[in-house]
Amino acid sequence: MHPMLHASKSQTVLIGEQNEELVRQWALRLLIDAQGYRLMFNNRNYFDDDLLVGLGIEVDDTADMTPRRLLRILRSEAKKQSPVPNLPTAFLGSNLKLLGDSLSMSTLEQEILGFLVIKEQDSHLANVVELFHQGRWAGVQRLVTMLSIALRYPRTLISQALNASTPLRQCGLVSPEGLHNGIELLDGLDDLLYFEENGPEALFRQNTLKLEPSELVPSDFEHIQPMYDRIYNYVRRAAAKGLTGVNILIYGEPGTGKTEWVRVLSEAMGLSLYEVKSSGPDGRPLPGDRRLAAFRMAQHMLASDKKSVMLFDEVEDVFNDRISSQYKACVNRVLESNQRPSFWLTNSHHTMDPAYIRRFDLVFEMPELCEKARLKIAKRILKGIQVREEWLVSLSKQKGVHAAHLSQAARVVQNSGYRKPERIEHEIDAILASLYQALGYREHNKLENVRTPYYNPVFSNTDFSLDRLTHGLKRSRLGRICLFGPPGTGKSGYATYLAQELDMLLITRKASDLLDKYLGGTEKALAQAFQDAQQHSGILLIDEADSFLTPRTQAKHSWEVSQVNELLVQMEQYEGILLMSTNYMEHLDSAALRRFDFKVRFNYLTSEQVWMIFNNHLGRSKQHHFSLADVNQCKPQLDKLQQLTPGDFATVERHHRVMGETLTPASLLAGLQREHDIKTSGQNRTIGFV
């Protein structure tokens, strides 16, 4: 329990006699001074004494009751009653005092809140207030008048206490939203303050959640160590000194570990982390303004706790256009005056007004966890579960694998009775795939570090030695290379081979990954691809480069020029190895061509290479004996196939594997013939009307 929220244990009653007297006092004031007594008669001048009975006022004869007579009776009852303070007793009184101390509420604000709570809980007071609604007394101003009369304060002071700048409104305890009542209480607030021994503590728990320490450790985020150190040093000292207006904005794609990182950081600083809830007690999502009010309330309650920090996730709820236009001044005040250091998280900062962003002390983007970190996390979470090392390595190569999701999958398989590693691995893969599909994640297996099976530079027919190129790149770790030529000639295969030889991560981006339907989206994706490669010190491969580097002179839209310009700028600034592949060299912008250090053509295989690969595949896939003559008799026919590629051999081999067929010299030749015929069938076709 928070120290500011301790309640007295001596409370033993919920409703005391003084509260009954207080209700009677307020009711009589409203009936007399606000002339509510006139509203107790209907249009036919019929009088119902139920309301008087509820207030403990007995009238012998009501048959000839008139407004004048009723007024005399009420005034007589009022003279008999000794005035009592406006602040209630019992749990409600102590809760109002606790809440007032925590939120810096004035005595008047506490009295107003007490009146509104009792109105919701006591039917007698509610019936009196209801008279004024029947008489078309409605709205905020009418309620202000009623409060002024019932509490005996000037009307101007009541209005000031309900002003938007007061704790009552800032913390969302009351809101001017009810067309009927004029002012509405926070849902459930009356029950908490009326019946709970420590209502403020219950209110705090209803709006905030104390987060448990993360399963991760600081070393899991060593890829952002400088930022970790910077925020650690700043927030730890700011929390200890009680500095106000300390705010950190963290943005990044889902699954990058923003919340986990804040939990790890908070634990390392020795601070308790409290998160503003995004849904109410009924499970329904809370609107942004309601969450912001809950944040301000929690800030007040934690003000004296120097061992606390706060977390506000999904801040787009607060900073979207609708909220920003209506609450801009309020949001600015929050960012300037919050008592405890706060972390604000969002998947995208683009919806935020730059004026807000400038008010944060530190802003940084949470990058994707690196492969090394993902492997460490996976090993820790899956410790004790029978999985293979190679599967863990494969899992760590998948972007977007979230520690919390992996923990969920681990819990499922641990309680499913599986024992074989293969089955456990399959189940975890299936669980994660289903979860990410439901969450709308795109599958990204773009970080590759696996050697293409059986790739050998000798099997590529290029106009520049791949061995020399590989040796040069290994030495310099720098270069912009364009790989061009027909499909299947080994461009992507060489990229993977190069990454393996240089022991570097291959980061692959295809056109489908980068092209975006929204204006500016493609440029952002291109910039992110280069940033990812720089961060991971990897090799960046952009496939289908012709999709981005079309000649600007042929552009029909301004965004086409913008895309080319963005890519050219990124190419110029990139300090690493960049590979761009295309099947259509003639479609590239001339300025882009000048920026490539090497332009390597991948041609169709020579006859010698075809014969070499043919024998290589038979040697690797041989399942029964066949004679050398069976192989040699295929060569004359192979020599006639002038447009074969390494990809054709891979296709034929996969066909045999799918069909469960044995690879023989004759079947391999037949498959290559088929692929060649498909490729060349339309090349000699003439136009019908010529």
CATH of the domain at 571: 3.40.50.300
- What's phi and psi for 644, nearest 5 deg? -90, 150
Tell me which range, 347-356, 390-399, 619-628, is most confidently predicted by mean pLDDT.
390-399
Here the tokens at position 40 are: 């107790």
- Whether residues 540 and 672 share a domain: the answer is no
The Cα–Cα gap between 412 and 419 comes to: 13
Q: How confident is the model at residue 33 (pLDDT cuts 50, 70, 90)?
A: very high
- Cα 296 to Cα 302: distance, rounded to the nearest angstrom: 10
- Shared domain for 403 and 434, answered yes or no, is yes
For the stretch 201-236, pLDDT in tens is 888 888 899 999 988 889 888 888 999 999 999 999
In a domain, 4, yes or no: no
Domain edge (last residue) among 182, 203, 224: 203
Model's pTM, two decimal places?
A: 0.58
Residue 208's pLDDT is 93
The H-or-E segment that residue 13 falls in is none
CA nearest neighbour of 646 among 452, 502, 480: 452
Residue whose structure tokens are 């310009």? 565
Secondary structure element (H or E) that encloses residue 14, with its range? none
Smallest CA-to-CA distance from 215 within 396, 56, 4, 403 is with 403
Is residue 158 within 8 A of residue 182, CB to CB? The reply is no
3-state secondary structure of 540: strand
Taking every pair of Cα atoms in the chain, the longest distance, rounded to a whole number of angstroms, is: 128
Within a domain: residue 12?
no
Residue 687 in domain: no
Task: Point out the domain boundary residue: 553, 582, 603.
Answer: 603
Does residue 11 fall inside a structural domain?
no
Q: Which two tokens stand for residue 123?
A: 């039917």
Residue 560's Cβ-count burial label (10 Å; 0-12, 13-18, 19+) is: middle
265 and 190 housed in the same domain: no
Domain count, the chain: 5
Query: Which string of DSSP letters, residue by residue, matches 442-455?
Result: PP---EE--PPTT-
| Structural domain includes residue 281 | yes
Q: Which residues face 482 on adjacent strands?
A: 580, 599
Residues 489 and 534 both lie in one domain? yes
More confident residue, 43 or 119: 119
Rank 78-82, 285-289, 455-459, 591-595 by mean pLDDT and report only the highest: 78-82
Residues of the chain with pLDDT > 70, as a percent, come to 84
Residue 382, domain CATH: 1.10.8
Distance CA 150, CA 474 (A): 85
Rounded to 10 deg, the angle between the 607-621 and 665-680 helix axes is: 140
Please report, as a single letter, which amino acid is at residue 429.
D
| Amino acid making up residue 96 | L
The number of residues in the chain equals 690
Q: Highest mean pLDDT range out of 4-8, 391-395, 588-592?
A: 391-395
pLDDT at 607 over 60: yes
DSSP assignment letter at 108: H
Task: Assess if residue 685 is contained within a domain.
Answer: no
Residues 142 and 103 in one domain: yes
The CA–CA distances, whole Å, from 673 to 631, 634, 640, 679 equal: 15, 11, 10, 10
Q: Do 49 and 185 fall into the same domain? A: yes
Within this chain, do residues 337 and 227 fall inside the same structural domain, yes or no? yes
* Residue reference for tokens 């139920």: 50
Q: Are 177 and 239 members of one domain?
A: no
State the burial class of residue 287 (Cβ atoms within 10 Å of its Cβ: 0-12, 13-18, 19+): middle
**Does 340 share its domain with 375?**
no
pLDDT tens digits, one per residue of 129-151: 888 876 555 577 888 999 999 99
Q: Sign of dihedral through CA atoms 411, 413, 418, 424? A: negative
Q: For residue 127, is it within any domain?
A: yes
Question: What is the SS3 assignment for 270?
Answer: coil
| Distance, CA of 155 to CA of 90 (rounded, Å) | 28
pLDDT tens for each residue of 115-134: 999 999 988 899 898 888 76
The Cα–Cα gap between 330 and 322 comes to 13
Q: Which residue has the higher pLDDT, 301 or 433?
A: 301
Task: Dump pLDDT digits (tens) for 261-287.
Answer: 999 999 999 999 999 998 887 778 888
Mean pLDDT score, 141-168: 91
For residues 239 and 342, state if they share a domain. yes
Judge whether residue 240 has pLDDT over 90.
yes
Name the more confident of 247 and 53.
247
- Separation of alpha carbons 534 and 96, rounded Å: 57
Of 508, 556, 483, the C-alpha closest to 564 is: 556
CB 641 within 8 A of CB 672: yes
Q: Which residues constitute the domain of residue 79?
A: 17-203
Specify which residues 541 forms β-bridges with: 508, 579
Give the rounded distance of the alpha carbon of 538 from its chain centre.
Answer: 27
Q: Taking 90 as the threshold, does the pLDDT of residue 293 lie above it?
A: no
113 or 572, higher pLDDT:
113
Asked if 595 and 663 sit in the same domain, the reply is no
- pLDDT above 50: residue 419: yes
Closest by CA to 152, choosing from 56, 85, 96, is 85
Q: What mean pLDDT is predicted for residues 640-646?
A: 92
For the range 633-642, what are the long-range contacts, defined as Cβ-Cβ under 8 Å and sequence gap of 24 or more? 633/665, 634/665, 634/666, 634/668, 634/669, 635/611, 637/669, 637/673, 638/607, 638/610, 638/611, 638/614, 638/669, 638/672, 639/607, 639/610, 641/610, 641/672, 641/673, 641/676, 642/604
Identify whether residues 155 and 37 lie together within a single domain: yes
544 located within any domain:
yes
The pLDDT of residue 401 is 75
Query: From CA 77, how far away is CA 125, in angstroms rounded?
Result: 16
What span, in angstroms and rounded, lies between the C-alpha atoms of 579 and 556?
27
> Which value, to the nearest 10 degrees, does the dihedral of the CA atoms of residues 36, 38, 43, 47 take?
90
Final residue before a domain boundary, out of 365, 396, 429: 365
- State how far the Cα of 544 lies from the Cα of 525, in Å rounded to an integer: 15
Three-class secondary structure of residue 423 per DSSP: helix
Given pLDDT bands bounded at 50, 70 and 90, which one contains residue 16?
A: very low
CA–CA gap between residue 435 and residue 440 (Å, rounded): 9
Chain position carrying tokens 């005595």: 107
The residue type found at 174 is V
Q: What is the mean pLDDT of the chain?
A: 82
Amino acid making up residue 600: V
